[in-house]
Amino acid sequence: QVQLVESGGGLVQPGGSLRLSCAPSVNILSFNHMGWYRQAPGKQRELVASITSGGSVTYADSVKGRSTISRDIVKDTMYLQMNNLKPEDSAVYYCYAREVLKAYWGQGTQVTVSS
């Protein structure tokens, strides 16, 4: 069973930065698509950023210019660097990874942006 282990969430002040990490239990090259979703209380889960095996990236308009998604093939880890965080970025962030026939989700990591 593939597992995705997330880390890096926490409490940060507005304008601050966080880097989320997602470490799969298998070789990261097993996946053709990876990314991050988030879900705030009372809201639907939304895509934040994604990256393909070829390195193509997409971002939600709400985080574009403030966030960077990347993969480290040597460390088998995916990252989401978030800068200039805003209170509306507060949510549980979920890592996902997709193979040809299956998709996997992490357990979620809480990000809270508050003064």
For 43, 61, 71, 81, 84, the CA distances from 78, given in Å and listed in that order, are 25, 20, 4, 10, 20
- pLDDT, position 63: 97
Tell me the C-alpha distance between 69 and 73, whole Å. Answer: 13
SS3 label, residue 88: helix
Given a cut of 70, the residues of the chain with pLDDT beneath it are none
- pLDDT, position 93: 98
- pLDDT, position 100: 87
